[in-house]
Amino acid sequence: MMLNEDNAFNRAEFGPGFHADGGYVALIDRRTLERECLAHSLASHQISRRVLTFSRLADWEAARDDIGLPAVVLFYAAHVRDEATIEIAQVVTAVSPAAVVVMSDDENIGAVLDLISLGARGYLPNSVSIDICIQAISLAIAGGRFIPASSLLSIGNVLGLTSHKPLSPVKFTRRQFAIAEALRCGKGNKDIALELELCESTVKVHVRNIMRKLGATNRTEVAYKLGDIACAR
In a domain, 200, yes or no: yes
pLDDT, tens digit, 9 for 90 and up, residues 71-124: 999 999 887 776 778 889 999 999 999 999 999 887 777 777 777 788 898 888
Contact 181, 149 (CB under 8 A): no
Q: Are residues 195 and 100 in the same domain?
A: no
In a domain, 129, yes or no: yes
Q: Are residues 202 and 87 in the same domain?
A: no
pLDDT, tens digit, 9 for 90 and up, residues 113-172: 777 788 898 888 887 888 888 888 988 888 888 877 666 655 555 445 444 444 456 778
Q: Which residues contact 153 (CB under 8 A, 6 or more apart)?
A: 162, 223, 224, 227
Q: Are residues 20 and 53 in the same domain?
A: yes
Cα atoms in the 13 Å half-sphere on the side-chain side of 164: 0
Q: Are residues 68 and 132 in the same domain?
A: yes
Angstrom distance (rounded) from CA 223 to CA 41: 26
* Single pTM value for the model: 0.62
In a domain, 155, yes or no: no
Q: Are residues 64 and 116 in the same domain?
A: yes
Q: Are residues 20 and 132 in the same domain?
A: yes
Q: Are residues 192 and 105 in the same domain?
A: no
Q: Are residues 47 and 110 in the same domain?
A: yes
Domain extent for 108: 11-147
Number of domains observed in the structure of the chain:
2
Helix spans in 6-80 (H): 32-44, 57-67
What's the sign of the alpha-carbon dihedral 123, 127, 132, 137?
Answer: positive
54: amino acid identity, one letter: F
CATH number where 106 lies: 3.40.50.2300
Q: Are residues 183 and 122 in the same domain?
A: no
Q: Which residues contact 39 (CB under 8 A, 6 or more apart)?
A: 1, 27, 51, 53
